[in-house]
Amino acid sequence: MKKRSFLLLLPLLFQVYAGNAQHTQRQLSTVISRQIDTLLMPDIEGIKQALEIKTDDSNKPVLLFLSGGPGSSMMPAASSFTSLLKTKFTLVQWDQRDAGKTLALNPSPTQPSVAQMKRDTYQVIRFLTKELNQEKIYLAGSSWGNVLGFYMVEKHPELLHGYFAVNPVISQLASEQELLEILRTHFKEDPLASKELASVTIPFEKDEDLFYLRKWLFYKEGKKYATSDEFKNGFLKWSATWSPVWNEVMAIDLPKTLKKVKCPIYFFVGKNDIQTSSTITQNYFQVIKAPRKSLFVFENSGHQIHKDEPEKLQKAILQTLEIKGSTITGGD
């Protein structure tokens, strides 16, 4: 009887041992490091979307960048603003729908919309957590990218270690109105600029409204090409795809709709940014409630901190990894 009982126990003991062995193997697989330098093209929401992943240790936390635009790519210049970040993160650049390498692979079969691109963002993050075997990631939004980033902060904070909001879209209708008044005052002695800016209506009624705002903003910033026919043709071509999306963005007013978040959030603001008002962003920082929050103001930057002060931006992001409480600090 004892012999038979022992024989009956053998299958059970084998199952327990095998189960423990599999569990141990799974644990080992989560700590094995991989070096990655690749471009992946997973199917996301019906099209192939380009994801560039770079790391010397795949166990480092993931940092996904959400490009500005819409319709722009940060991928070609990524090395210029990630040289320090690569010491702490697995870096991911994503070319969004109808932008960069994703556009080259396959144009969007439907007119892009904010809702569609929010779904894209969620699915990209789910893909990355599975592909890189991590439960959460860090997320950084630049300008328009914050439309997608704040959606994730609001709806899926469980997927985020923290959020980096760089020159974010906060209340874009108010920001565009503020910009228009600044430009009208600045160019009041310029007949052509005054005439074109006087024709602008906000909310925008035609593509030329946004075009004139950006034309004279860029010219004020020293970009002389903004008055060329080539710039106008390129901008209006962009508008054919993206002006409906930007009109949706104009309805975003985070101080009214998002007053409390459930993940750490860090704001990075160019002091001279008048495209997405730095004043509006700093006022929003004061009122939003978060487990942790910080504000970094960059004295020598406008709307593109990652180009104006890339090293200081990276150091500020790395500094947030050490921040334990609510802080206001400068970019120096």
pLDDT for 73-121, tens place per residue? 999 999 999 999 999 999 999 999 999 999 999 999 999 999 999 999 9
16 compared with 217, residue with greater pLDDT: 217
pLDDT band at 306 (very low <50, low <70, confident <90, very high): very high
SS3 100: helix
Q: What secondary structure does DSSP assign to 262-318, as a single string?
A: SS-EEEEEETT-TTTTHHHHHHHHHH-B-SSEEEEEETT--S-HHHHSHHHHHHHHH
266: left (phi over 0), alpha (psi -120 to 50) or beta: beta
Give the C-alpha separation, 116 to 77, whole Å.
26
pLDDT score of 324: 58
Looking at residue 52, the DSSP 8-state letter turns out to be E
4-50 pLDDT, tens digit per residue, is 443 333 333 334 333 443 443 333 345 577 899 999 999 999 999 99
pLDDT score of 7: 37
Q: Residues in the chain, how many?
A: 332
219-273 pLDDT, tens digit per residue, is 999 999 999 999 999 999 999 999 999 999 999 999 999 999 999 999 999 999 9
Looking at residue 61, the DSSP 8-state letter turns out to be P
Give the C-alpha separation, 36 to 56, whole Å.
6
Pairing type for strands 47-48 and 43-44 reads antiparallel
122-158 pLDDT, tens digit per residue, is 999 999 999 999 999 999 999 999 999 999 999 999 9
Give the C-alpha separation, 275 to 116, whole Å.
24
Looking at residue 106, the DSSP 8-state letter turns out to be -
